[in-house]
């Protein structure tokens, strides 16, 4: 997930967008030419990104639950794998919870800004 965010194509796209906005803000005559150079690579919105991250966390939790159930049934699953899976699941959930809290705090800060 992080690899997608820091891929060379995304970095180039961000740099081109920043240069375009900087040129528009400074009133340079070449601002319109820079606007067409911004590549349309990896266009996705915030909602899709969040949805993808949540589905990955859900997938980790489902795998952990399946491993635990298999261990409980007496299948040939190592206890260390079960514990490791449960820890990964717990860590993914806690990280998601912290991100949610930070986003909500930022949203509240924006709402409380004086206009």
- For residue 39, give the nearest of 63, 59, 11, 67 by alpha carbon: 11
Could you tell me if 90 and 48 lie in one domain?
yes
pTM, rounded to two decimals: 0.56
* pLDDT score of 106 more than 90: yes
Could you tell me if 30 and 59 lie in one domain?
no
pLDDT in tens, 21-80: 677 776 655 545 545 555 555 666 888 888 999 999 999 999 999 999 999 999 999 999
Q: Work out whether the CA dihedral 62, 68, 72, 73 comes out positive or negative.
A: positive
Could you tell me if 66 and 105 lie in one domain?
yes
Q: Which domain holds residue 67?
A: 44-115
pLDDT of residue 31: 46
Q: Which of the pair, 14 or 99, is modelled with greater confidence?
A: 99
pLDDT band for position 1 (cuts 50, 70, 90) = very low
């Amino acid at each position: 997930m992080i690899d997608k965010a820091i891929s060379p194509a995304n970095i180039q796209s961000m740099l081109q967008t920043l240069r375009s906005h900087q040129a528009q803000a400074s009133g340079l005559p070449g601002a319109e030419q820079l606007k067409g150079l911004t590549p349309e690579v990896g266009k996705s919105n915030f909602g899709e990104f969040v949805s993808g991250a949540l589905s990955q966390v859900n997938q980790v939790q489902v795998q952990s639950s399946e491993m635990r159930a298999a261990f409980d049934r007496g299948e040939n699953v190592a206890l260390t794998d079960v514990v490791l899976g449960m820890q990964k699941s717990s860590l993914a959930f806690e990280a998601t919870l912290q991100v949610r809290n930070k986003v909500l705090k930022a949203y509240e800060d924006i709402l409380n800004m004086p206009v």
